[in-house]
Amino acid sequence: MNLPLFLARKIYSTQKNKEHISRPAINIATAGVAIGIIIMTLSLCVVLGFKQTVKNKVIGFGGDIQVTNFITLQTSESYPIQASDSIIKVIQKTNGVKHVQRYAFKQGILKTDKDFLGVTFKGVDQSFDSTFIANNLVSGRIPHFSNKENTKELLISKSIANRLKVNTGDKIYAYFVDQSGIRVRPFLIAGIYETNLSQYDKIICFTDLYNIIKLNNWESDQVTGIEIALKDFNQLDDVQANLANKINKTVDNYGGTYATASIKEITPQIFSWLDLLDLNIWIILILMILVASITMISGLLIIILERTNMIGLLKAMGARTILIRKSFLWFAVFVIGKGLLIGNIVSIVLLLVQRYTGIVTLDANTYYVKAVPVEINIPILLLLNVATIIISTAVLIVPSYLIAHIHPAKAMRYE
């Protein structure tokens, strides 16, 4: 029989007696652990939710990695590269690559009878992965984009639609100004999307790749770039390095130089903000574990003082100090475990309510989402609980040394 564990159970069961002065302290310690794990779990899941949601939106607009013209990366101008079948095959055969698609940009103006707006037209073709846009479509449909013909259909954001006061099914004119002069193209608004990522929603319209290539006066196999989706975002740096070794500084048949850039390099401000969230969560975790540990230390000291008679009796019967210390540490584990159980149940319920109801809302213009996003990552939550138990128990080792200074004869006379 494990004697320390047996004694810990007896001490824990007798603490339910209301006559023990230590009961309020133990309840406070349990509540401290429960509140701590609730705050840590909610904070962690919300931060994970924010990071995943915002990251997915940014990647939805630009892919994980882009292959573009070297000059395009250095300037705000759009210089073409040759997106030949051979270069596409090289990218597709690279380990970690999930999907490849071509795109081209063209600046223009959308005009109605009452208003106009400068936007960026993004040309895509039949290889376009519309999953992200489909998940954020608010009305209409996604056009069948092509690199062979001009369908004259346009997909715009809700922000643009509200600004120009247009809706799906409306006809709108686009004006393009370049060295060739002013060119006008009619479009039918096929669909409207809303991602709440304002820096994209305010300017990005989707249309046929064929149309944009013609407007740019490029050859049929020239594009602004190639977007690459990865199987695992965690492999971003490795895949980019692999691609860079294969195609960087390679010159195409039209004199364009290939270059690669990750989404982190293209949108550094957003990913820097997401990294800052990691720092905030670490501060919260450290503070909450510290608070839980302090309440547990206070509770354990009160229990030791209250059980001085029992400690003296055990020592008089020959029990070693280490055995008694282990008993009180096991008791602390029971208290911590109860606090974790209560805290986990409450936090999971709150997270599920938020996930399925979105009851806590946010300003989408500031936070990129309408409701607080949550991501319940079970392995990370289990690791958080284990770390809390280990750290909270470890800090109790020092105060448990108080038992070594309790003399049996004096302790048995202690009231």
Q: Under DSSP, is residue 220 helix (H, G, I), strand (E, B) or coil?
A: coil
| Kind plus residue range of the DSSP H or E element containing 288 | helix 268-306
Low pLDDT (below 50) residues in the chain: 18-19, 21, 411-412, 414-415
Q: How far is CA 29 from CA 18, 185, 339, in A?
A: 16, 70, 8
pTM of the model: 0.80
**Distance, CA of 168 to CA of 200 (rounded, Å):** 19
Residue 405: the pLDDT is: 58
**Distance, CA of 142 to CA of 94 (rounded, Å):** 30
Residue 7: the pLDDT is: 61
Residue 408: the pLDDT is: 56
CB atoms within 10 A of CB 211: 25
* Residue from 200, 191, 65, 64 nearest 122 by CA: 200
**Distance, CA of 68 to CA of 283 (rounded, Å):** 39
Residue 288: the pLDDT is: 84
Phi/psi at 150 (5° precision)? -100, 110
Strand boundaries in 141-288, DSSP class E: 153-157, 171-178, 181-193, 204-208, 222-223, 225-230, 258-262
Residue 369: the pLDDT is: 85
Residue carrying structure tokens 């965690």: 234
